[in-house]
Structures are given as C-alpha cells and as structure tokens.
Amino acid sequence: MPTTTLSRPRRFATAGVAACLAAGVGAMAFGAGATTTAPRESAPPAAAAAGAPLPASPPSRIVIERLDLATKVHELRAASGGTTLTLPPLRATGWDATSATPGQVGITVVTGYIARTAKQPGALHGMSRLREGDVVTLRRQDRRTVDYRVTGVAYYPQGKFPAAEVFATTSRPELRLISTGGPLHPGDPLGNAVVTAVAD
C-alpha cells in the first residue's frame, strides 16, 4: 500500500489520519492504491444493540446502501518509524488503527478514495449523494455490526482542515468517513470530504 510522505506531528493527540490532515497533507498527496477485490463473506450477524459501547474489534467491511457500496476495510498503520501512514487500495477503504474500533466510545476513522483520476473512481465515488439520516454500517472482525447515522457532509480545501473540530472529544461512538483523493463536487479544489456520523 502507498504511504503519505509528510511527518505526523506529535502536538496533535489525534488519530494518524487526523494528524496528517492537520499538518496540511493534501488529498492526492496520499498517493494511489492498487485495485483489489474484496473476498466473499457469509451473511452478516445482527447489529449491535443501540447505546451499548462494544469492546475493541477492528472493522472488516463497510456497507453504504445509498452508494451501493459493500467493500473491505483494510487496517492502516504507521510506516517508516511512525512518520508516514499507509492508505487503502483504490476500490477499498481503510481504518486508521490509532482510532476507536466500531462501537467503542470515541471516533472511528475510515478513509477511502472518491477518485484517483477522472477515469479511476474510488470506493467512495458518489460520496456527495450522502444525506443526513443515511446509514453507514461497519462490520467488525468479531462479526458484530455497528450502524452509524450520517449527521453531516463537509468539504475542506487543502490546508484548511479543522482537525480540532472534526476530531473533537466525544462521549459516544462516532464515525468520520474521510476522502483521501478526488473532489466531492466537480470543480472542488484539492482537499478532503468528511462525513460525520453517530452510532444508532
């Protein structure tokens, strides 16, 4: 997998992706991933009980019905002694392993490409169609699922990412779905789209 090329600043007590964005890493600066096909999986188990925080278990799959999306979630970890962060393949997504796991109190960070180029759409192609109230489902490695309800969609130009606002401390399970390449709308400047969602 590709990695970022900028250092992760220690002054931000946030997730790895958050630190890179706070440092002004542009969307396309994350690099390009290789296309992969997610493995077939058996029928998903029942969703986790609402309002009950879960023990740690990394995500394995993301489903967004609004986008007709069902794809693998890769685990993203720091590389090169912690100075860079790996990113997901073009047609998959990635979970920042320094963030909360789905259903835990705190912010779960999942990233993916809207597009690498105009002719290479990514897993989050169509992200602009998401609306408040839409559901994003994360399947965990322990086979539990967590539903997050979208509360907002925003786009931030490179260098203007409000990390303190996007990753503010929370007392409930929340999700930040962040683009790593491609505009949210045609003509958007280089930057990052952020979907904010809260566990049902």
Q: CATH number, domain at 132? A: 2.40.260.10
Tokens of 57: 């278990």
Asked whether residue 5 is assigned to any structural domain, the reply reads no
Q: Per-residue pLDDT tens for 73-100? A: 999 987 666 555 678 899 999 999 999 9
Distance, CA of 64 to CA of 147 (rounded, Å): 10
Task: Mention every residue, 6+ apart, whose C-beta is less than 8 A from residue 16.
Answer: 8, 76, 77, 78, 85, 96, 97, 98, 99
Domain that holds residue 141: 16-34+54-199
Q: Give, in order, the Cα–Cα distances in Å from 9 to each of 82, 169, 187.
A: 10, 19, 30
190 vs 143: which has the higher pLDDT = 143
Arithmetic mean of pLDDT, 172-178: 97
Burial class (CB in 10 A: 0-12, 13-18, 19+), 30: buried
Residue holding tokens 């409000």?
162
Model confidence at 53, in pLDDT bands (50, 70, 90)?
confident
Q: Is 25 among the domain residues?
A: yes
Give me the percent of the chain exceeding a pLDDT of 70.
71
pLDDT (average), residues 19-32? 45
pLDDT at 20 over 80: no
pTM of the model: 0.78
Q: Classify residue 7: in a domain, yes or no.
A: no
Residue 41 lies in a domain: no
Distance spanning both ends of the chain, measured CA to CA:
32
The mean pLDDT of the chain is 79
Task: Judge whether 76 lies within some domain.
Answer: yes
Residue 47 domain flag: no
Distance CA 114, CA 179 (A): 6
pLDDT given at position 19: 63
How large is the average pLDDT for residues 181-193?
A: 90
pLDDT at 194 over 50: yes
Give me the mean pLDDT over the 173-193 stretch.
92
How many domains does the structure of the chain reveal?
A: 1
